[in-house]
Amino acid sequence: MTKYIFITGGVISGLGKGVASASIGAILQMLGETNITIKKLDPYLNVDAGTMNPIEHGEVFVTDDGTETDLDLGYYERFLEIITTNRNSTSSGKLYQKLIEKERSGDYLGKTVQMIPHFTNIIKEFISYNKGDLDYILCEIGGTVGDIEASAFFEALRQFKNDVGIQNVLFIHLTYLLFLPATNELKTKPTQNTIRDLQQVGIVPDILICRSEIPIPLTIKEKLSLHTNLPIQNIISAVNAHSIYQVPLNFISEGLHLILSDKMDIQNPINTIKWRQLNHKLLNLTIPLKIGIVGKYTELNDSYKSILESIYHAGIYHNCKINVDWINSRVHGESTYEGIDGVLIPGGFGDTGIENMISLIQVTREKNLPTFGICLGMQLMVIEYCRNVLRMENAGSEEFGNFRPNVISKMKQWSSEDYGGTMRLGKTEITIDGSSKAFDIYGKNKIHERHRHRYDVNDKYLTDLESNGLKIVGRCSDHNLVEVVEMDEKIHPWYIGCQYHPEFQSSPFNPHPLFVSFINRSIHQSQLK
């Protein structure tokens, strides 16, 4: 029988339910329960995260099958080393869309379609899909209890508990304890209120995880126990950690694994070796390194969450303590990159800040700084090269206007005027030139990477680029689109751009080879100072 763990949130959003959910999954794996998956249910009405502003919502994470999802799925994949799909992420918009399609096709046989039971049934179907193949399904509910948008989700959870049996369901509630510096005390009233909100919709949490700025004293746990009817040991302290990868071990130190073992009838001893080794490395990084990220959405670090994590993963691999220097291309037109050891130009959309990014790329190329361009970053590397090496002064991209020439053009296969789900999305096979630096990095000539774009390098200009030092060393196997460009080491020590998003396939236990190579060269650059 499949068992279900639901993770809900209260008081405020942004508490880290994604990290908490991934950490709970990691603890199950440490207990020997490896046949698991995690799903994210978002209450927003967007069909998916693909059209949402990264400054407001954070990055869009793309799965193998091309699903555009919330960034929490990145945590799931990195912590658990699993592959997620469209079955791991949904939204109210996507579920309503399915409901309307069923109504239009006559599935309800003329009945009045209502929130209960029809929409809640759609939610429950998503939760329990592939249950026969799994021992555990974890579900994170986006937003907070009490949100109007999430009301149907909580009603579905209430029903679901009765459908599958209370013995097969565990509710974990993540909340926030307010800290008042003036009185040096934690306030519990908001948490008491959010528990009351849960109880009013028919859900009683089994475990309470409390985020706080300071360790939670026993007196506070006793107070919470009194007001929530939870045993003290079921109230878990979640103090701010030095790294998100410390969170599973922090939960274990609070005894969360013992509660899971008891509630889920798990008989296996816990094995924390892999996670303790990782955190030992994290706490003992010795090589200082400064990496510049030239981006358009630097106000919110979550806009580049997978990029950041991939850099840190490679840093762990090389024993590097990495300091990221954010360079906002919308306000910085010039930079000497003083003190920076390597520069990464990530993906993005729209013409805002583009000219500044191109100018900054010229600096990295001419100063021989290790330069790594991803998606839009690669396209801008090509534009910069065309302008300043090939002397095509007006070279640009079709995305930003009618340049002469458009060395970056819209791909015909993905030319829809609609925005949602119409880009080139998901994993594709790529062929790497056997004589290239990229081949040396990957160690093979067939790779598989994830994409999210609708523009690519115009084939008309490839001969000129290659004859002047910018080599095309990777092509997708089915459409022959440009995937990887690089400069010869004799011209530039490390200058690589890729059209795909390697950051979506990196984990702290298996860092992506491109990031590993980039950080390695950046270390060498730092030693030249």
Secondary element (H or E) of residue 136: strand 136-141
User: What pLDDT sits at residue 297?
Assistant: 87
User: What pLDDT sits at residue 489?
Assistant: 87
Mean pLDDT, range 291-299, rounded to an integer:
91
pLDDT in tens, 447-459: 999 999 999 999 9
User: Is the per-residue pLDDT at 418 higher than 80?
Assistant: no
Distance CA 424, CA 451 (A): 6
CB 410 within 8 A of CB 454: yes
pTM score: 0.94
User: What pLDDT sits at residue 415?
Assistant: 62
User: Is the per-residue pLDDT at 421 higher than 80?
Assistant: no
User: What pLDDT sits at residue 414?
Assistant: 65
Distance CA 20, CA 10 (A): 13
* Alpha-carbon separation of residue 204 from 40, 108, 166, 447, 511 (angstroms): 20, 32, 11, 47, 40
* Alpha-carbon separation of residue 287 from 127, 319, 391 (angstroms): 45, 6, 40
Secondary element (H or E) of residue 484: strand 482-487
Distance CA 97, CA 100 (A): 5
User: What pLDDT sits at residue 261?
Assistant: 96
Instruction: Provide the b/e sequence for 264-302 (b: ≥16 CB within 10 Å).
Output: bebeeebeeeebeebbeebeebeeebbbbbbbbbbeebb
Residues with a known catalytic role:
375, 501, 503
pLDDT in tens, 372-413: 999 999 999 999 999 999 999 999 999 998 888 999 999 887
* DSSP states along 177-224: -EEETTTTEEE-HHHHHHHHHHHHTT---SEEEEEESSPPPHHHHHHH
User: Is the per-residue pLDDT at 293 higher than 70?
Assistant: yes
pLDDT above 70 coverage of the chain, percent: 98
Question: Strands 482-487, 470-476: parallel, antiparallel or unpaired by DSSP?
Answer: antiparallel
Confidence band, pLDDT 50/70/90 cuts, at residue 86: very high
What values do phi and psi take at 313, rounded to 5?
-60, -45
Question: Strands 287-295, 342-345: parallel, antiparallel or unpaired by DSSP?
Answer: parallel
Separation of CA 312 from chain center: 14
Q: Which two tokens stand for residue 30?
A: 């440490």
Confidence band, pLDDT 50/70/90 cuts, at residue 15: confident
Mean pLDDT, range 483-506, rounded to an integer:
96
CA proximity to 347, closest of 296, 382, 396, 311 = 296
First to last CA, the chain: 61
List domains and CATH numbers for the chain. 3-279 (3.40.50.300), 286-527 (3.40.50.880)
Separation of CA 190 from chain center: 29
User: Is the per-residue pLDDT at 82 higher than 90?
Assistant: yes
pLDDT in tens, 320-354: 999 999 998 888 756 678 899 999 999 998 888 99
